[in-house]
Amino acid sequence: MASMITLKRRITSVRNMRQITKAMELVSASKLRRAQDYAQRSRDYRDLAYDLLTKLNAMSEVEQQPLFKKREVKNRLYVIITSNMGLAGAYNANVLKLLTQGLKRDQNEKVASHVITIGSKGAQFVRRLGDNYLMAVYPPFSDQPSVNEMRPILNMVLDEYRKEKVDDVQVIYTVYKSGILQEAQVLQLLPAPLIDVDSSSVTISNFEPDVETVIDEVTTRLIEAQIWQAILESLASEHAMRMMATKNATDNANDIIDDYTLALNTARQASITQELAEISGGVEALSG
């Protein structure tokens, strides 16, 4: 059994760690409320963008637009959203697992894979796989992100696709469903999906300056909305999973403190019993 001094040091150490994890839990809970708000409000904008794209899909000109045109996939680009810090449960692991599955599939299909990472955890993982995969690394977004922070990623993705350097673009991120449920998903970003619609239900409209320009601009905004929503969902999921992970760490620290306290009390009781025995033995020796 460990000595009482050692047990006291361990209890103090675990208590200090518990204070840290409890503080992180409270911070994550506060950030989660804001991030959840952003993600839920932004979903309406994304849905409206889909509605507009659905109406445009009935036009034959859509299939000729560069962002809709399907090509033989020789190069695939993955945009993965991870965090800069750990202690967030399986947040990063779930995203990286989907990435690994995609890279393995590409290898079997003889498709060249490229990766853009958001957050250092993803970059560290991809670098270990090989530098030929990593195309760009972007820092994680702030707790109150702006669209301007996302624009460089959007511009790079569109530029790579329009120049036919990549033939397929997928975003791997985590969808926030509730405080206890978050799910890593793969979003097909480019080529933009063609949605089957009934052409007879579409109202004939006039477009200025022309149909091609309008479709290109609307599609760009839709892709922007998809990336933006993926970022907001990932932020909310990260805070939720970090809150749960730090809460579990705090609960485990409480259990460890209880165990060490019990061991300390047992050791103290044993020490007292031994001292009493020694005193009794000394008294008997003197009286004899």
As beta bridge partners, residue 117 has 80, 137
Give 3-state DSSP helix, strand, coil % of the chain, rounded to 5.
Answer: 65, 15, 25
In the chain, the percentage of residues whose pLDDT exceeds 70 is 86
Strands 168-176 and 75-81: parallel
The torsion angle over the Cα atoms of residues 164, 165, 167 and 171, rounded to 10 degrees, is -130
How far is residue 95's CA from residue 44's CA, in Å, rounded to a whole number?
Answer: 25
Kindly report, residue by residue over 227-245, the tens digit of the pLDDT.
888 999 999 999 999 999 8
**Residue % of the chain over a pLDDT of 90:** 36
Can you give the pTM of this predicted structure? 0.81
- Give yes or no for a contact between 38 and 149, defined as CB atoms under 8 angstroms apart: no
- Residue 87: the pLDDT is 81
Identify the pLDDT of residue 201. 47
Would the pLDDT of 282 be above 70?
A: yes
User: Which among 26-30, 101-105, 191-195, 219-223 has the top mean pLDDT?
Assistant: 101-105
pLDDT at 173: 95
Model confidence at 41, pLDDT cuts 50, 70, 90, reads confident
Output the pLDDT for position 136: 92
H or E stretch covering 155: helix 147-162
Tell me the domains of the chain and their CATH numbers. Answer: 27-243 (3.40.1380.10)
Side chain identity at 8, as an amino acid letter? K
Alpha helices in the chain (DSSP H): 4-56, 91-108, 120-129, 147-162, 211-287
| Residue 202: per-residue pLDDT | 47
pLDDT tens for each residue of 167-215: 999 999 999 988 888 999 999 888 876 555 454 444 545 656 666 677 7
Q: What is the pLDDT of residue 185?
A: 93
Determine contact, residues 258/99, Cβ cutoff 8 Å. no
pLDDT at position 268 = 83
pLDDT at 226: 86
**Mean pLDDT for the chain overall:** 83
pLDDT of residue 118: 92
